Amino acid sequence: MQLIAGQNITLKNTTLELKFDLGHMPSGVAVDTSAFALASNHKVRGIDDVINGDNPSLSGEGISRENDGQVFKFDLQKLPTELAKVAVTIVIKKGAEKRQTLALVHHVSAQLWDSPEHMLCEFRMDTEGRKEVAMIMVEFYRHNSAWKFRAVGQGFNNGQQALFSNYGVNG
């Protein structure tokens, strides 16, 4: 199933893998991925709720980052009840500083797998011409007693700092 920005699906399985396919990677351009585990106020509880290269898993389980950020593994049932959402993002490292944008990679795809043999859905963003340096690609969120998955595609021109600030991460 191909998702478009804003579209969501209800998840039946809560043990999932999210795999990134980063289009064309020109020399000198580095892309990083992160997951932000968010409370109901849409902010992290602290820096440990940012899953990235420096912190590859959520304390208490539920989210891990693998394969240099190309894969995130989720066990949504293990997430603390005070976490209401997980936003998964991409950013051009030092993109604002280097004046590099996501347009350089041409496209980014986030594929959600509910088993090794079954891709549940995919969200592909064509990024040619885009001026953003960072992007919220997808979100997992609690809705009533179920988890949902949403294709987002919301960008930030000012890169990682703007993205981190959006989720309440200081510094």
Q: What is the CATH number of the domain that holds 96?
A: 2.60.60.30
In a domain, 14, yes or no: yes
Q: Which pLDDT value is given to residue 22?
A: 87
Q: How far apart are CA 100 and CA 50, in angstroms?
A: 23
Contact (Cβ atoms closer than 8 angstroms) between residue 89 and residue 28: no
Domain ranges, residue 110: 2-166
In a domain, 67, yes or no: yes
Q: How far apart are CA 15 and CA 12, in angstroms?
A: 9
Q: Model-level pTM? A: 0.95
Q: Which pLDDT value is given to residue 171?
A: 58
Q: How far apart are CA 71 and CA 54, in angstroms?
A: 15
Q: Which pLDDT value is given to residue 158?
A: 86
Query: How does pLDDT run along the chain (171 residues), one tens digit per residue?
Result: 999 999 999 999 999 999 999 877 889 999 999 999 999 999 999 999 999 999 999 987 899 999 999 999 999 999 999 999 999 999 999 988 999 999 999 899 999 999 999 999 999 999 989 999 999 999 999 999 899 999 999 999 988 888 999 999 985
In a domain, 171, yes or no: no
Domains of the chain: total: 1
In a domain, 104, yes or no: yes
Q: Which pLDDT value is given to residue 61?
A: 87
3: tokens are 């998702």
Contact (Cβ atoms closer than 8 angstroms) between residue 36 and residue 167: yes
In a domain, 157, yes or no: yes
In a domain, 15, yes or no: yes
In a domain, 120, yes or no: yes
